[in-house]
Structure 1
């Protein structure tokens, strides 16, 4: 598949490899067939992401996560029972990324020279895309696994360049999705340390109170890696118009996500069917349109798909069977009246501009 270079700012690759036990170096059909008779998770046999499909879709740069939530006593959420256990899981995930680097499947991007060198490789048409490594920027989704703030510095040495304070439910550094309340004292202190390292703060999953508190306290680069619009899907997980305007003022970029419940308020996890509700890729453009109208331009929307983030085709737009189908947005955006410059902004330009500005310091 020939197409435009794409940046996807949110993929839980290592979680899929370690906790789902998926060999992401294999073709997508092989991964699905391997899971044919597995019933432990609802998305078995329905995955959409693997390294060959990333290359096929010219998705040459991703923000790839470490994710391990601490679950306190009494919580119904899945998670680890101590911060140390959560830390150990993130280190297993890091080890997987290192193994992918050793195989030449991936390459870690940590700074501006590394970014520019990787982009030059992907622009080199004499090398087939199938032979190019997928670049990844390491991000921590929820900070629970940082046993204390000194672990942030250890993670930075390992290449961590972006982090969010929270995930779902109660968090050690901040409450997250479906919660209320401000950052914890540890969270406030963590922001100070992140700022000293010029790390990127990901505001995804923060409560409304935590969102505004974080923007007030944090002076470094800010993005929302995978967020949609609350005016269209009125749940706390999505961004209000005022929050969007605040992010635009900070020159942030907002990654649109392809989990159906974040695209269409009618969708209910494990109940609804994307085909029956006719949830298509184009519906994400409705969210992008809304943000573009508020911003007055196309410079603040991009892709943060969250594909295979504990869901597969059963919870993705029905016209998307693989992450390579992100290339369909070229034609979809064109039909919706977006100029080529705007399309390029959304597919890669906005994330690249953000990273160049953040890392120029």
Structure 2
């Protein structure tokens, strides 16, 4: 079975270059369709990340309405998938992924990173679902209608979900949309754990005890996600792998260190992949989809069984997809 990557930011990188670039084969991206095929992908989650002012400057984009931006990125992915339907198809649930696999095609799934555009309106979540969004990363690095972000400020970090955030968690359970707690405050995390009746995930987070970044998960959080039947997607970003925040190296040996740590705390069924490729910087040992097999080979050399590797690669994520998405 191929791998499932729960998070990449490739759509952001192509947003203002779409007239000149595409997703089929793009040397400026870490994730493109041909690279996914070469790397053996089963499914790739493509994030519609809502940029802040700093990111807009970085990608040289003027300020744009959130929904106009979201609609444009959704259209870009769907158009690119349609133009390359010999390689890839859209997927909206478990059965779509299985059907695409049988047709020897990769599955593309849509997510939103930073639910600020929901603007405390459940109808907006419903609209996004109809547009094909199947996962929302509730927060990014700023407060929004759901709650508060990860932070080095303990007052902010301890704050839980807002009333709307609690309502939205229940609604997302109801309609069949995955809740993602990466970037969420610790207080918000515990509220999601309390109010979500379905498994939830941390799509691109590692272990805080090994790399003390507030984006990473505390030991009890790893256990809670496992107990709720969710998964944790391994993030390749150097600052989430290394305890020394100035270390810009993203190495496979550090990835394995985190994976073994998470496995020992939460068990084999909590492991998943959430590379964050095209959203991260540094000296990346795995800097593209094509190189993903290097990680699986290294896990084999570390003594992981084929069954455990398959759980990490896709089976655990597929279980959550099957249980949550409708």
Q: Indicate whether the TM-score tops 0.5.
A: yes
CA distance, structure 2, for counterparts of residue 84 and residue 283 of structure 1: 38
Q: Which residue of 2 aligns with 1:157?
A: 130
Counterpart mapping for 1:8-87 below 5 A: 8-19=5-16, 23-25=21-23, 27-29=25-27, 31=28, 47-69=29-51, 78=55, 85-87=65-67
Distance 1:246 1:91, change over 3 A: same
1:199/1:221 contact within 8 Å kept? no
Please state how far the C-alpha of 1:8 moved relative to its aligned partner.
0.6
What is the 5 A alignment of 1:116-131?
A: 116-122=98-104
- 1:316/1:323 CA distance change after superposition, 3 Å: farther
Tell me the secondary structure at the aligned position of residue 8 of structure 1: strand
Q: Deviations over 1:183-228 (max 9, x none)?
A: 2233222223212202211111110001001111121231111110
C-alpha distance 338-16 of structure 1, shift in aligned 2 (>3 A): same
> Is the 1:24–1:49 Cα contact (8 Å) retained in structure 2?
no
1:356 Cα deviation after fit: 2.1
- 2:175 matches 1:209: no
Q: Distance in 2 between matches of 1:253 and 1:333?
A: 18
Contact 2:140 2:183 in 1 (8 A): yes
Matched residues in 1 for 2:274 and 2:224: separation? 19
Between the aligned partners of 1:316 and 1:171, the Cα distance in structure 2 is 32
Q: Which residue of 2 aligns with 1:241?
A: 219
Aligned twin of 2:72: 92
**CA contact under 8 A between 2:114 and 2:136: conserved in structure 1?**
yes
**Counterparts in 2 of 1:62 and 1:207: CA distance versus 1, 3 Å:** same
Whole-angstrom CA distance in 2 between matches of 1:20 and 1:290: 40
Q: How many Å separate the matches in 2 of 1:121 and 1:266?
A: 45
Write out per-residue CA displacement over residues 306-327 of structure 1, whole angstroms, 9 at most, x where no aligned residue: 0111x34xx143x324221111
Matched, 1:291 2:266: no
CA distance in 2, matches of 1:13, 1:23: 12
Residues 87 and 349 from structure 1, CA distance in 2 versus in 1: closer, same or farther, beyond 3 angstroms?
A: same
Q: Distance in 2 between matches of 1:146 and 1:355?
A: 22
State the distance in 2 between where 1:139 and 1:321 align. Answer: 21
Distance 1:330 1:224, change over 3 A: same
CA, structure 1 residues 316+176, in 2 after alignment: closer, same or farther (shift >3 Å)? farther
Structure 2 unaligned spans of 5+: 58-62
Q: In the TM superposition, what whole-angstrom CA distance separates every residue of 1:74-99 from its partner, at most 9, and x where no partner exists?
A: xx75569xx98112211111110121
Would the aligned equivalents of 2:234 and 2:272 in 1 still touch at CA under 8 Å?
A: yes
For 2:60, the equivalent position in structure 1 comes to none
1:23 and 1:321 mapped to 2: Cα distance? 19
Matches of 1:160 and 1:26, distance apart in 2: 21
Per-residue deviation at 1:102? 2.4
Counterpart secondary structure, 2:135:
strand
Whether contact under 8 Å (1:228, 1:287) holds in the other structure is yes
Given the alignment of the two structures, is residue 5 of structure 1 paired with residue 7 of structure 2, yes or no? Answer: no
Which of the pair is proportionally richer in helix? 2
Q: TM-score, normalised by structure 2?
A: 0.88
SS in 2 for 1:162: strand
Partner of 1:143 in structure 2? 115
- Report runs of 4+ in structure 1 exceeding 6 Å deviation: none
- Structure with max Cα Rg: 1
RMSD, matched Cα: 2.3
Secondary structure class of the residue paired with 1:222: coil
User: How many residues are matched?
Assistant: 312
Report if aligned partners of 2:173, 2:324 keep a CA contact under 8 Å in 1: no
Residue 108 (structure 1) aligns with: 90
Q: Which has the higher mean CA deviation after the structures are superposed, 175-184 or 250-259?
A: 175-184
What TM-score results when the alignment is normalised by the length of structure 1?
0.80
Say if 2:213 and 2:239, in contact at 8 Å, map to a contact too. Answer: no
* From 300, 307, 311, the counterpart of 1:341: 307
**Distance in 1 between the 2:110 and 2:39 partners?**
21
